[in-house]
Structures are given as C-alpha cells and as structure tokens.
Structure 1
Amino acid sequence: MTESAADYDVAVVGAGPTGLALANLLAAQDVRVVLIDPNKIVCQHPRASHLDDETMRTFQQFGLSEAQQGYLVMDGYQIMNQDGKLLFSWEISDGETDQAWLSDYMFFQPDFEAALRGRLATSKNVDLLLGWDLVDLADDGTAVTLDVRQRRSDAEKSVTAAFVVGCDGANSFVRQRLAPDLVDFDGDERSLIIDVVKFKPAAGLSETIGTIVSGTRPFTHMPIVAPMSRFEFMLLADEDRETYEDPAMVYSLLEPWMEPGSYRITRSDVYLWHACVAAKWRVGRVLLAGDAAHQMPPMLGQGMCSGIRDAANLAWKLALVLRGTAGDGLLDSYEPERAPHVREMVVESTRLAKNIAALGQGQAPPKEADGEVADKAHPPIEPAIGGDADLPMAGQLAPQPRLRDGRRLDDAVGFVFTLLAPGEVLGGVDESTRQRWKRMGVVPVRVEDLEPSDWLDTHQVTGILVRPDRYVFAGFRSAEELETVTRHLSVSVFEEEIQQ
C-alpha cells in the first residue's frame, strides 16, 4: 500500500478472533499484512462463545454473513436457585435490531477461526506465519523489526513492518515488550470450565437460554451450538485447582443435570479470569488490541466482542495512515476512543461476577455507585476525532438500515465513510463539498432508497455522517450543516487545509 521499505504494512501478532478480524479488514483495504501465531492449526476448543449484533455487523464486512445460519440464536437468560426455582429472567427479542442482525448468538469459535484463516490464506495481501513464535521486536521509528522462530524446526528469520498490532492474548508478549503495566479492577475470579458434547439434553436446562444457578456452588450453563454446552463453576479462594480438575469431581458436579455417560467432555480446566485494562495501548509503531489490551470476566459475554470493536476502530485508521491520506496522529485517537468504552464493560462484568459470588455465599450483592452500571445496549464511544467542535450525535453507534431491495446497507457501501440523508439535502451542498467527499471516499446514500425508519427523527437530525467502524462522526439538519460537518471531517481526519 505504501512506498515503505518495510516488508509489510502491518504485522498482526496473534490469530485469535481479534487478530483474524483485523487482518481480514486490513487485507480488504489492500494493506499488506503478515499474520504471526505459534499455532499451525486453530485451537480445537472454544474460548469465546457469544457474539452480539454489532459484532455480526463487523463479520459482515469480511463475508461471514452466511455463517450465522450455523449459530445458535439465544432466546434469553435466567437466574435460578440451586433447587431449580426461577428467580429472574429476561427475554431477547426475536427480531432484527437496528444493526440488521439478531441481538445475541452463540457460535463455535474453532470453525469461525478456521473460516477466517482460510480467507487470509487465499488473499494476495496476506502472508501467514503460522507455527511461528515472536521472540523479539524493535521499533527504530521508521519501521518495526520482528524476530520470529518456527516451532517445528527452530528456524529463525526477521521481518519488518510499518506497524505492529499485538493481538496475542492475555499473556501478550507484545504488551510485555511495549508497556506491561495494567490497570486492575479487582475482578479476578477462578472458574472450572467444562465443555461437553451432549448425547441427550441436560435435565432442567434450556438449549436456547443462558442460565445462572446461584447457591453454594454458583455456576452458569451456556448452550453453544447443538449439541455442545459450557458449564462454568465458580471456585472459592481457598479451593484447590487440582481437586476440581479431577475427572471424578467433574462427573460429580454435572450429575444433577446430566448422567455420566450421556455426554463427552471436550474441555475441563480451571481458568483465572482477570479484570484489567492496559495502561498504554500505543507506543510508537506498536499497538495493542483484544485481550492483550483488556480482560474481563465472562458475565456480559463482551470479551471477544470488545476485541472485534478494537479491530474495527483500528483497521480504517491504519489504512488511511498507510495510504498517506491521514497523518500518523490519527492513530492516537484509538486508545482514547476504545479504552473508556471497554472499561465500562470490564467494570460491569466484574460487578456481575461479584454479585453471583455473593448470592452463592448467602450475602447481599454489593451496591453499585451512580454511573457504575454500563449501558449494555451499545454504549457510545467518546470520539477523539472531530477537533473541538461540538458535533451532534458524535460517538453513537449508527444503525444499519436495509435498502428497498432488501440488502443491508454495509453490503452496498463497504467499509467506508457513509452519508445517510434525504436527496434534497445531499443535492443542496456546494461543489467543493462534493469534491471533498470524492477525495475522502465518502459514499452518499439517499434515505429515500432505504426502508422506512424513524431513527433519524427520533434523534432529531436529518442525516448522519458515519465512520467506517459504524459510529457516527456527526449528525446534521440541513445542507449547510452537512457542508460544515464535511469540513470538520476533512480537517480532523484527512488534515486538509480549508481556505476561508
């Protein structure tokens, strides 16, 4: 993409969901990518299992729309006591959200990762170094040199990249070399994770509803995709890991719900959940994303989803910088936009984990302070681009309407800046504004060509300018305001000088 002497534009370290999503989004924008991961094949048991409508919208960008046919659609969640009495439940709407996807899905991570690895293997813009460990990296200010070693042969070589993104998980090597400090939210919890393939349904547990069972041994049951389920049993501080990983203990814990011999265990180990956010997400040409940048207990199902948001936020910014159409300073907006957003998720998931632990010990759940509870319905980001202007609706997640022919909007426009406005407003701007749209790759769409929606009216705007990551850059109410918004975009992102 660039005239850089580096071997690659971006080196993505780590081929989990975040790294695979980022590599696919970059490759689709003609960015030269090398993907480095120690595992030659995907891990055969899932770590993540839940995704939401916003995540599905990102998957849509790299051709995984049809994959949702193999996902499990969730009907809701419930909390029961250990005697099976229902304490609380909430249903999930069975219709599409404003993101043009269903609200919640469960999926099988190994198949997802295999599909994305395959797409990258056939991309002209990507080289795969699978089965290779990153052993060192050095940023000289113009490029980053990465030293890698093949696990099978111990062969060593070096590659260079204009930028490096560490997506290498909770024990990130890149983070350790970049900036190892973490902000800890005091949410460490241990759980015994048991994944099973069921030969028949579990007694008293729904196949489409996530269940939390309180009691002296709190646990969750989450159906993944039939016939798989995940059980997570919370461990107390003084309980021994080896005791609970013993097969006899596993059978004993599952016996109230499933008879031994009615399932096959595919995973059984104690996992330590952390609640933390990296103190620094960028140093020079090296950045962090996904679990390398943040970790949380699983109660919200937002760990992987947050990593996918990192990838979507970073991919378009890296592409613009590498093209030379935006300055390097655009990357400084990444952490300010993503860190506060994910911090809310970490705090809320930690609160829920402590509530479940308190219920299990017969205690009242701790009360949250004002403002502590996260907005689980797509909280806005705090936009770090747009200058000092007070731009209406900036940072809100934009909807994805369908066109009148039934297509989803993103399928028609791609991973670009998009304008949604009435034809009269789009047609009322001056020629200099139209030329700016062309230079910046902005795609205008008339609301008359979309299926009817009251979303714009509800937010008291006539139209919106949407970023590639689907967050609103600004709303506007007239052609004159649209001209002003366009100038703000050209100055704050593309660093154009506006002549008065």
Structure 2
Amino acid sequence: MDPVIVVGAGPVGLALTRALTRHGVPVLLLDEAADGEDARPARTAVLRPETAAFADRLCGTPVSAAGARWSAWRTLRRRRPAHRQELGEDAPVHLPQHLLARALRSAVDGDGLARVLTGTRLTGLDQDSTGVTVHTRGPGETRHRGSHLVGCDGARSTVRKLLDVRFPGRTAVERHAVAALRAELPWPGEAVLHRSPPGGREALARPLADGVWRIDWLFPRGGELVTPEALLTRIHDSLTTWCGRLPPYELLDTGVHTVHHRLARRWRTGRAFLAGDAAHLLGSLGTQQLDEGLRDAENLAWKLALVRHGSAPDALLDSYQAERRGAVGARLRAADQTLPLLRSGGAWPTVRRSLLPGTRGEDTLLTDGHLGRGPLGAPPVYARSPLTPPAAEAALPVTPPGAPVEDIPVTAPDGTVTGLRERLGGDLLVLLIAPGTGVWDRKHWMGAGLMPRLAAAVTALPVRAELLVAEAYPGAPAHTVLLIRPDGHLAAAVPGVRPDQLHACADIVRGAGSTRNAASGGSRTTGTSGTGAASANGARTSP
C-alpha cells in the first residue's frame, strides 16, 4: 500500500503524520533538515484547549503539561490596571515550540507505520489518477510514490510553488521584538497585556513553565531597527515599570517576530494538499498560527483515512478546503478589519458594532483574541460545511452543528469514565444522553431501554462508530443522540433513536449522503424508560 507523503517535519507535519498512522495509514515524512527543531525558548506556541488535547492524544503523554496554563488574564493601560479576568479549564496552554516538536517526533519515531527521511529536499512532483510521484535530493532514493501528498513545508513551501498555487496577502502587518527570560514578575501564572506602556506602544508578558516568561514588544511597521541595545532598553523599562525596580533576571533568548497575513488560493490540487504555514499565515491581535495549523492536521487526517480505507468517496476531501480555508479566511478578515483601527486610531465604534456588539471595546477584542474567544480566537464552526446535515425538524438547544462539542464525562466502551476529548481521533462517536446511568450495573445496560435499538443502529452505520453514554450534555434533553466527528465537531443532534436519520447523517459526514434524507425524521423511538451505555467493546462496523 502506497503511503501518504508528508513534506515538512515541523509541528504540523509531525502532527499530521502521527494522526494518520493512528488511523492505520502509512506515511512517508520528508524532512529537509538533518536535525530536529532548534531549542529556542523565545519561539513558543499558544494552544487552545481543543488543540492542546489533540497534541496530548498524538503524543500519548500530556505534552501540554510542559507548558503553562494561565491562571488569569490582566490588562494594564499606561501605569494603571484596567481589567483582570480569572481563567479556568478553558485557559490556553503556552509552551516552547521545540518541546512540542520533540514530543511529536518521539511519537512518530516509535510508530511502525511512519518512515522519516531526513536531509531530503523535494525537487519535483507528478500526479496521475492513482497517486503522486515525488522527486527528491538527498541520501538514498530520489523517487518516491504515494497515494496523496500534503505540503506542511512552511511559508516558502516548495509544494505550493510546484503546484503553482498563489499565496496573496499582506506583508509585515506587525513587528514584535521578543525575549524569553527568567524572572520574578508581580503576577505569577498570569498573562499580562500592557497597553500604552511608558516608552512603548504595547507589551505582552506571558508565563511559561519554571519561572520563564516570553515578552513581546510591538514596534512600528517599517520603523526603527530592533537592535540589541533597543531590546535591552525595552526589557529594563518594562521590568522596572512592572516591579518598581529592575529585578534580577536571566535572559535566555531573543528574536524579532514579523507577522504576515497570507492565504493560499487553493488548499487542494488533485491528490496534493497544503496545511499549516504552507496554506496560511496569521498572527496579529492574538491569532495563533500553529494552533490553526494543528486544526488543519486534525481536520485532514480523518478524512484522508476514510478515503484510504475505502469508507468514503474522494469527494470527502473537498471538504478540507471548504472548512479550513473558510475558517482561517474568516479569522484573517476579522484581523484585517480591526488591525488598522486598533493600531492607528480611527472609527472604533464602527468596528465595534460590526465585530463585537455590546462589548467593552478594544481591550475585549484583544483579550478574546489571545484567549481563544470572539471573531479573532474562537474555535471554528463549520456551519456551512458540505458535511453538516441540515437542521432536523425538532431543533435541539445544544452545540450548533459544525461546532466543537463540550468536553464532558462519558462512559467509554470498557466501562471507565473519561473526558469526551479523550475519545476523539478515531472513529465517529455516537453519544447517548441518558440521565441515571451512573447507578446502573453495566452488565444490564445493553438490554435496557433504548440501548438495543441504538446499538443496532450504530452497527448499521456506513462508517465505523463508537457508542458512548453521558449523564448530561448542556442543553440536550434526555435520550438525545449526538453524532460527533473524529475531530470533535458536532455533526448532528437527533432527538431519540432514529436509525434512518442517524444513518443519513453519517452518510453526509463521510461525503456520500443526501441532505434531504438527513433532514427527514426517519423512524423514531422517543423512549420514556430505561437507559443505556456502550458494550464492552463498543458498537462498531468494519469499513
């Protein structure tokens, strides 16, 4: 069986490789570098809870534990506190990028389905009706054959150039000086946005693990050079302002971060795809480039796996561009509309009404961007996706179709209780909301109430699915059945057990169904007694 060829062994390429092999798909990973990711403490990643959970599943260990989950977000304006917000389980995870890359690389190296070629540069590619042939320069073979190819090879992507895909956008929309240092600041565990600090425009201090902070200073576009002297001046001024004096500190790393906004015209060309920096560049106002790249990998992996295993038509792969390019494009539009007004003054009320009606204003928009909320940061909702069935006749007040599901406790096939996110990344999930299951003896569940009919419906689905049970889900009445995609986005919420409707929705999710059939009620069982849960092995069908 020909592998999927992944070009580029940064975090996105490694994540995609590992996600595919977890689905049983062999991968050939081409790494132009001879060594792994450089250890740069000032090069960090902010992961939203969903993408942090995705990284943990891929690595098999809680890699997010190597970072810092912020306890609060604080905004200062000039020398005075403006706002402070406590953060809970939905706080982002901040960690050095090289630690994430190393954990992913370790997982890939230990995977028998992944083959990594280091020091190998892509020089050409050809496609035909059955696969992709790539030509490389490096040690060993110079010609490789795969079923599909994914370019995760960065902003200067060779794959994108060979596919002749345009990469329009804006260059150098923001410029930041960056430093990673170890020091004791007055807000342990808190992220701090300092607007209009003395001698500067904006400073952002975000904690990492072990007493390390990453600090970003906004510099004017095309203005003064960020010299070592200028950076040291910013460090001294900021630390003195925040602490009342210059505290002892250890400077670990420095750099200059220039933000570009670009979006590839096409993310799919035949059997070739783009992901991560090769497909998009963003990063202003709290938007997170690597976070979006990991979402690309998670979205594409399960779709490629279904097509490779013969469980879905090739048309399913078109939804990758429709969903991910649409989501990143919306993020870029929000940033491009807001950036000039926040940075240079202007008609703020206009952008406030269009983007954030009823909010506090500028500080809210910046805070939401960094914390993963609002138009700049909230997880994507694929409401207009070709994989989202139309609303059923009985609308349920739950998570909107196409949005990420809540991470609630669920009963897994082996009878243990886990978080819902821990079950993602494999088959489709069918989740029954059944209050009272906690007091039932599991050996009686499969023969009680709705379970025999639901288990039979899950077994008959056109793709493999795992049956789970939860005591409750926000807004969902008892006996609601949720159909959840492997990437954690809700496909459909069905009131009661309706095998025909559930089957039609699953068919749409695999890119082969009719929206008309999914909208119809199908056969139904309202179910007024009994509950149920998964069998010992889960209810599954073979592809």
> Would you say how many aligned residue pairs link Structure 1 and Structure 2?
464
Match for residue 476 of structure 2 among 433, 449, 456: 456
The reply to whether residue 313 of structure 1 matches residue 294 of structure 2 is no
Please point out which of 428, 433, 438 is paired with 2:453.
428
- In 2, the alpha carbon distance for the partners of 1:181 and 1:128 equals 29
282-291 or 206-215: bigger deviation: 206-215
**In structure 2, distance between residues paired with 1:77 and 1:247:** 29
Is the contact between residue 63 and residue 103 of structure 2 (CA under 8 Å) also seen in structure 1? no
Q: C-alpha displacement at 1:91, in angstroms?
A: 2.9
| Counterpart residue number, 1:403 | 410
Residue in 2 that maps onto 1:291: 277
Tell me if the contact between 2:388 and 2:402 (Cα under 8 Å) persists in the aligned partners: no
Q: What's the counterpart of residue 238 of structure 2?
A: 257
Deviation at 1:162, TM superposition (A): 0.9
**Per-residue deviation, 1:115:** 1.0
Provide the residue aligned with 2:506 in structure 1. 489
The answer on 1:239 being equivalent to 2:223 is yes
Q: What residue is the counterpart of 1:266 in the other structure?
A: 253
CA-to-partner distance for each residue in 1:249-268, whole Å, 9 max, x for gaps?
21111111345973224122
Q: 1:491 to 1:344 in 2, by over 3 A?
A: closer
Retained in 1: the 8 A contact 2:44–2:94?
Answer: no
The TM-score with structure 1 as length reference comes to 0.83
Question: SS of 1:479's equivalent?
Answer: coil
Q: State how 1:433-448 maps to structure 2 within 5 Å.
A: 433-437=457-461, 440-447=463-470
Q: State whether residues 481 and 497 of structure 2, in contact with CA within 8 Å, keep that contact through their aligned partners in structure 1.
A: no
**SS where residue 29 of structure 2 aligns?**
strand
- How is 1:146-157 mapped onto 2 (pairs within 5 angstroms)? 146-150=134-138, 157=142
Is residue 167 from structure 1 mapped to residue 152 from structure 2 by the alignment?
yes
Tell whether 2:36 aligns with 1:16.
no
Q: Distance in 2 between matches of 1:53 and 1:321?
A: 28
Cα shift at 1:350: 4.0
Distance 2:508 2:233 in 1: 63
User: Quick one: percent identity of the two aligned structures?
Assistant: 22
Give the secondary-structure state (helix, strand or coil) at the position aligned to 1:69.
helix
- RMSD of aligned Cα (Å): 3.0
SS at match of 1:440: coil
Unaligned runs of 5+ in 1: 97-101
User: Cα deviation per residue 1:413-466 (whole Å; 9 max; x = unaligned)?
Assistant: 7521011114744433595x34423x511111133xx4x443424xx9812100
Which residues in structure 2 correspond to 1:355-370 (within 5 Å)?
355-358=341-344, 365=348, 367-368=350-351
Q: Is the 8 A contact 1:77 1:210 kept in 2?
A: yes
What is the 5 A alignment of 1:349-360?
A: 349-351=335-337, 353-358=339-344
Q: CA–CA distance in 1 between the matches of 2:497 and 2:177?
A: 56
Query: 1:247 Cα deviation (Å)?
Result: 1.5
Change (3 A) 1:250 1:414: closer
Structure 2 CA distance for partners of 1:490 and 1:148, relative to 1, 3 Å = same
2: distance between equivalents of 1:403 and 1:323? 28
| Shift in Å, 1:372 | 3.9
In 1, the alpha carbon distance for the partners of 2:423 and 2:283 equals 37
The Cα of 1:50 is off from its aligned counterpart by 0.7
Normalising by structure 2, we get a TM-score of 0.77
Deviation at residue 365 of structure 1 after TM alignment = 4.4
**Matched-pair contact (CA < 8 Å) for 2:5–2:149:** yes
Q: Deviations over 1:120-151 (max 9, x none)?
A: 1111100112232222222233221222223x
Q: Which residue of 10, 27, 45 corresponds with 1:33?
A: 27
Label 1:253 to 1:473 Cα distance change in 2 as closer, same or farther (>3 A): same
Aligned mates of 1:470, 1:420 — CA distance in 2: 12
Separation in 2 of the partners of 1:169 and 1:424? 53
Larger deviation, residues 135-144 vs 363-372 = 363-372
d(CA) in 2 for partners of 1:225, 1:347: 33
1:378 aligns with 2:375: no
Aligned to 1:471: 489
Contact 1:300 1:345 survives alignment (8 Å): no
Specify the alignment match of 1:201 in structure 2: 184
- Distance, in Å, in 2 between the alignment partners of 1:167 and 1:440 is 28
Name the counterpart of 2:77: 81
CA–CA distance in 1 between the matches of 2:102 and 2:455? 48
In the alignment, which residue of structure 2 is the partner of 1:99?
A: none
Measured after TM superposition, the shift of residue 20 of structure 1 is 1.4
Q: 1:478 to 1:207 in 2, by over 3 A?
A: closer
Q: Which residues of structure 2 form unaligned runs of 5+? A: 240-245, 357-373, 435-447, 523-543
| Alignment correspondent of 1:417 | 428
> Equivalent residue of 2:273, what SS?
strand
SS in 1 for 2:460: helix
Higher relative contact order (CA 8 A, sep 6+): 1
Q: Is the 8 A contact 1:61 1:415 kept in 2?
A: no
Question: Displacement, 1:65?
Answer: 4.7
How many angstroms does 1:210 deviate by? 3.2
- CA deviation after TM superposition for structure 1 residue 119, in Å: 1.0
Cα distance between partner residues in 2 of 1:299 and 1:369: 15
Among candidates 42, 47, 52, match of residue 51 of structure 1: 47
Q: Deviations over 1:182-214 (max 9, x none)?
A: 353x5842323322232x324x56542232332
| AA at the equivalent of 2:460 | R
Pair 88,387 (structure 1): closer, same or farther in 2 beyond 3 Å: closer
In 2 relative to 1, CA 195–35 (structure 1 residues): closer, same or farther, beyond 3 Å? farther
1:141/1:425 CA distance change after superposition, 3 Å:
same
Change (3 A) 1:205 1:267: same
Q: Distance between the aligned counterparts of 1:73 and 1:440, measured in 2? A: 37
**How far is 1:317 from its partner?**
0.5
Instruction: Tell me the SS of whatever aligns to 1:343.
Output: helix
Q: Does residue 319 of structure 2 align to residue 333 of structure 1?
A: yes
2:56–2:64 Cα contact (<8 Å) kept:
no
3-state SS in 2 of match to 1:456: coil
Deviations 1:363-399 (A, max 9, x none): 6647317554544443411353348744564212112
- Evaluate the alpha carbon distance shift between residue 196 and residue 429 of structure 1 in structure 2; reply closer, same or farther with a 3 A threshold: closer
Letter of the aligned partner of 2:193 in structure 1? Answer: T
What letter matches 2:229 in structure 1? A
